[in-house]
Each structure stands twice: as C-alpha cells, then as structure tokens.
Amino acid sequence: MSKIVLQKNKPIILSIGGSLIVPSGSPDVMFLKALKKFVDAQIKIGNKIVIVSGGGKTARHYIDAASGVQKVVDEDLDWLGIHATRLNGHLLRTIFRKVAHPAVIKDPTKTPRKWKSSVLIAAGWKPGWSTDYVACRIAKRLGVDMVINASNIDYVYDKDPKKFKDAVPVEEMRWKAFQDIVGYTWHPGTSAPFDVVASGFCHRNKMKVAIVNGDDFKNISALVAGRGFRGTILE
Ligand code: UTP
C-alpha cells in the first residue's frame, strides 16, 4: 500500500483521464455518479477540489477520423483533442452546477487563486501536451505539490507491460526512472500512464503525482485521507 499526506487547507487537484469519462462511444454514467458521490463527500468534510477532465474516446475518435481522411498536422490533432476535453469539462460543470465555479478553466495561467465554490473544473489548454500538464500547472499556481491522476490503470510498471511480460507494478518511482520508460517527446493522442511534458514539469518543480485507478473512489478517498491506497507515487 502506498501512503501520502496531502497539504492542509489546499484544494485537491484531481486529473481525470478521459478514458474514465468516455471509455467507448459515450459518457459513462456509472462513473459520473461515482465521481459525484466522491466529490459531494469531500465537500461535506470541507475540502475544495479542482477537477481536470480528459478527452477520452471522443478525442481519439475525432483524431482518428481527421487522420483517416488526409494527412493532418499534429497541432490540429491536438486541437481536436482539446475540444473533446472541453466538452467533457462542460459535462462535469453541468453535473456540478450547484457547487462549481460557473466557468470551465481553459487557461491554467488564469486559474483564480481564490474562488467561492467548492469545485473548479478545468480542461485542455493549448497543443503540445495533455490535460495532465494542465492539472500540474494549476497545482503549481495554487501552491499544491501533489496531483492525483485517476485513469484506468492500477499502477505504473517498472517497464512497459505491453512490451515486457516480466514487468512488475511499483508503489513509488522517481521521475527520472519514469521518464526513461515513457520518453520525453509528445505525440498527440498517445496514452502513457502520465504525460511526458507534465512529468518534466513535475520533476523540475519537485511535485508528486499519485497514479490511481478511477474505478475505485474508496481507494481515492483513502489516499485523500492519508491512509494506505492502491497506486503509484511518482516523485
Ligand atoms: P487528454 O488529456 O484526454 O489526453 O487530452 P490523453 O492522455 O491523450 O488521454 P487520457 O485522458 O489519458 O485518456 C486528449 C488530447 O487532447 C490534446 C492532446 O492531443 C491529447 O492527447 N490536448 C489536451 C492538448 O493538445 N492540449 C491540452 O492542453 C489538452
């Protein structure tokens, strides 16, 4: 079990992989209900929460569609992905209408340092990275040193599990070791456990990221409460 203590009186920064919001053709209502239950419980105990939404299969379908018709420049593929993340952001803002800041944040450098509502929703910003990076930029701006990255994997492995059968899950990994596995260069629509650009940013800024599976909010609640959780701490 991994364990981490979150800073007191700071918002929780939760980056949600689009694969959780839109795992196949359409949004996953069961997941959204579980997310709502988790967020409501956090609000009840006085926590504020920033949710950064990924693009999921919507992003991938649009990227594949454009590329299937003709050669498209990477920047335009990223823009398709960005709009998918923003659509998902609006979906979340709608669900959290009563408790969320009214605007979806599209530029992390303009994130309000103080906001009244309990929830702040953010989505994609500019080409060249994923929403993981947006979440890290927001965390840094708000003085938060840890980002929770929920996606569809339980752990980061010591080697690429798609290439190596003997890859084993790890509970803690240094940024350098992680970067040696996932590389340093961005390609639109790639799905590493955590974005390479965001990894470099966290490394430089001495930030941590907890990689957890979004299928289990009890586990994420344990993490937030400083109890043992299933997942990998990148640091
Ligand atoms: P995601 O954040 O969903 O990235 O953005 P991802 O890692 O590919 O997918 P999941 O969420 O882990 O499943 C979708 C795509 O949108 C573009 C990128 O092409 C990204 O792959 N994007 C997103 C940007 O170019 N800039 C941003 O700020 C955000």
Give 48's contacts (C-beta < 8 A, 6+ positions apart). Answer: 11, 12, 118, 119, 120
Residues paired with 209 in a beta bridge? 147, 234
Report pLDDT for 189. Answer: 63
Q: How far is the CA of 204 from the centre of ligand 1 (A)?
A: 21
For domain 12-234, the question of CATH label 3.40.1160.10 is answered with yes
Neighbours of 211 (CB within 10 A): 24
Mean pLDDT to the nearest integer, 176-197: 86
What's the pTM value of the predicted model, to 2 decimals?
A: 0.95
pLDDT at 139 over 80: yes
Q: Which residues line ligand 1 (CB under 6 A)?
A: 17-19, 54-56, 59, 77-78, 81-82, 85, 124-131, 134, 151, 188-189, 191, 195
Residue 82 to residue 56: CA distance in whole angstroms: 11
Collapsing DSSP to helix, strand or coil, 114 comes out as: coil
Segment 76-132, tens digit of pLDDT = 999 999 999 999 999 999 999 999 999 999 999 999 999 999 999 999 999 999 999
> What percentage of the chain carries pLDDT values higher than 90?
88
Give 169's contacts (C-beta < 8 A, 6+ positions apart). Answer: 154, 155, 156, 157, 158, 232
pLDDT at 235 over 70: yes
Q: Give the start-to-end residue ranges of the domains of the chain.
A: 12-234
139 near 206, Cβ under 8 Å? no
Atom 21, ligand 1: residue with shortest CA distance: 189
Residue 67 to residue 63: CA distance in whole angstroms: 6
